[in-house]
Amino acid sequence: MKKLFLLALTFFSYSNADSQVLSGTLIDSDRKLLTKDASFVFTNAIEGVIVVELAVNREGKVTATKIIGEQSTIKSTPSKIKAENSAKKLTFTAGTRYAPFEHVLVKYTYKKTATN
């Protein structure tokens, strides 16, 4: 039983290592990410992360994005734009019981392109 638990924990940790919905009032409200095909990992010439703050309305749509420079390691403008455009496509649980706008931090991981 202990081995099964460790195996499940390892698999869960590995599968969520790169896709991160980090923190914010949206998480505190127990709203879930609904976008099934969301990609949080991109290939790039350099490795690093970009953290984007999202504002989400009651319909579950992203209404605004902001790069959090203090938590991001990539300074490339095209990479930042790619992360923001991807973030704008995310959808979350909708409902009238939620605040008009809630915020959440999302981490996008950039991995180095494999060379032949």
pLDDT of residue 36: 83
Question: What is the residue whose two structure tokens read 């914010």?
Answer: 24
Please, what are the averages of pLDDT over each run of 10 residues along the chain (116 residues)? 48 46 79 82 86 92 92 89 91 87 90 72
Looking at this protein, which amino acid is placed at residue 68? I
| Global confidence as pTM | 0.74
Q: How is the chain split into domains, by residue range?
A: 18-112
Q: How far is it, in rounded angstroms, from Cα 43 to Cα 32? A: 26
- Considering the domain delimited by 18-112, tell me its CATH architecture: 2-Layer Sandwich (3.30)
